[in-house]
Structure 1
Amino acid sequence: MMNREILKNWRHVMKLDPAKPLTDTQIDHILRSGTDALMIGGTDGVTYENTNNLLSRLALGEIPLIQEISTLESVHPSFDAYLIPSVLNTSDIRWVYGEHLEAIKKFGEYIPWEKLWWEGYVVGNPEAKVAKKTNSDCSLTPADVTAYARLTEHVFQFPVFYVEYSGTYGGTQWLQAASRSLNRTLLFYGGGISKEAQAKEVAAYADVVVVGNVIYEDLDRACESVQWVKETKKQ
Structure 2
Amino acid sequence: MPLDWRDISHVTKVDPAEELPRDLDILGGTDLVIVGGSDGVTQENSLDVIRRIKSRFPELPVFQEPYSSSHVSTATVDASDYLAVPAVYNGDRENFVTKHVEFFTEIGTKPEEIVGSGVPVVGELIASRGREAVAEVSENVVGEGYVIQNLDSKAAAVSGVERTYSPDEVAGAALATESFYGFPIFYIEYSGTYGGTADVEAAAQYLDETVLLYGGGITSQRQTEEILDAGADAVVVGDCFHDDPERFRDTLP
Q: TM-score, normalised by structure 1?
A: 0.89
Tell me the equivalent position of 2:54.
59
Q: Does 1:194 align with 2:219?
A: yes
Pairs aligned (count): 221
Tell me the equivalent position of 2:7.
9
Which 5+ residue runs of structure 2 have no aligned equivalent?
A: 109-130
Partners in 1 of 2:97 and 2:24 — Cα distance? 34
Deviations 1:97-140 (Å, cap 9, x if unpaired)?
Answer: 21011111112364422211111000000001111111214432
Tell me the equivalent position of 1:167.
192
Structure 2 residue corresponding to 1:147, chosen from 172, 183, 187: 172
Partners in 2 of 1:7 and 1:79 — Cα distance? 17
Would the aligned equivalents of 1:8 and 1:186 in 2 still touch at CA under 8 Å?
A: no
State the Cα distance separating 1:142 from its structure 2 match: 1.3
Larger radius of gyration: 2
Which 5+ residue runs of structure 1 have no aligned equivalent?
A: 229-235
Tell me the equivalent position of 2:181.
156
Moved over 3 A (4+): none
State the Cα distance separating 1:7 from its structure 2 match: 2.5
Partners in 2 of 1:138 and 1:176 — Cα distance? 20
Deviations 1:43-74 (Å, cap 9, x if unpaired)?
Answer: 21110111121122112112111111211111
Tell me the equivalent position of 2:239.
213
Aligned-residue RMSD, C-alpha = 1.5
Tell me the equivalent position of 2:122.
none
Tell me the equivalent position of 2:94.
94
- Structure 2 counterparts to residues 119-158 of structure 1, below 5 A: 119-158=144-183
State the Cα distance separating 1:89 from its structure 2 match: 1.0
State the Cα distance separating 1:217 from its structure 2 match: 2.1
Q: TM-score, normalised by structure 2?
A: 0.83
Q: Which is worse superposed, 148-157 or 68-77?
A: 68-77
Tell me the equivalent position of 1:232.
none
Tell me the equivalent position of 1:82.
83
